[in-house]
Amino acid sequence: MEIKSRTISKGTATGDVIVSRDAISFYGGVDPNTGVVVEKGHALEGKTVAGKILVFPRGKGSTVGSYTIYRLKKNKVAPLAIINKETEAIVAVGAIISDIPAIDKLEKDAYKNLKAGQTVTVDGNKGVLILR
């Protein structure tokens, strides 16, 4: 099943979903060397975003978050792709400079139905999410 979306960053990736209903601050909230969420009290605290399709509503915090996403990619611990409810500038820039496929504004409010462990394909070239 294909769900239309808005493309933020081109590319494709297939993998397992990890979901947070909390916004994510990459600067200070995610360890750029390990990909582990370190923000105290965050829904994903102690979990890694590395090699996952990361689903979260939007980013928050410092503009340095864009560079932190880039560091995650350089350290090979970045998410395979990003799905947001609505992407803001920090996450958009981070995804684009890091060549991480990113989409948002899923049709039919499909964002809220994504579940941890579900395998999906993010196709930022076509602006679709493919449910497996």
Give the range of the structural domain holding residue 22, as residue numbers without chain letter.
2-131
Contact indicator for 44, 20 with CB cutoff of 8 Å: yes
> Is residue 62 annotated as part of the catalytic site, yes or no?
yes
Residues 6+ apart with CB under 8 A from 14: 80, 119, 120, 121, 122, 132
Report the distance separating Cα 105 and Cα 5, nearest Å.
Answer: 5
pLDDT tens track, the chain, 132 positions: 999 999 999 999 999 999 999 999 999 999 999 999 999 999 999 999 999 999 999 999 999 999 999 999 999 999 999 999 999 999 999 999 999 999 999 998 899 999 999 999 999 999 999 998
Selecting among 5, 25, 62, 98, the annotated active-site residue is 62
pLDDT for the residue 81? 98
- Under 8 Å between Cβ of 56 and 22: yes
Instruction: State the CATH number of the domain containing residue 117.
Output: 3.50.30.10
Q: In this predicted structure, what is the pLDDT of residue 109?
A: 84
How many domains are there within the chain? 1
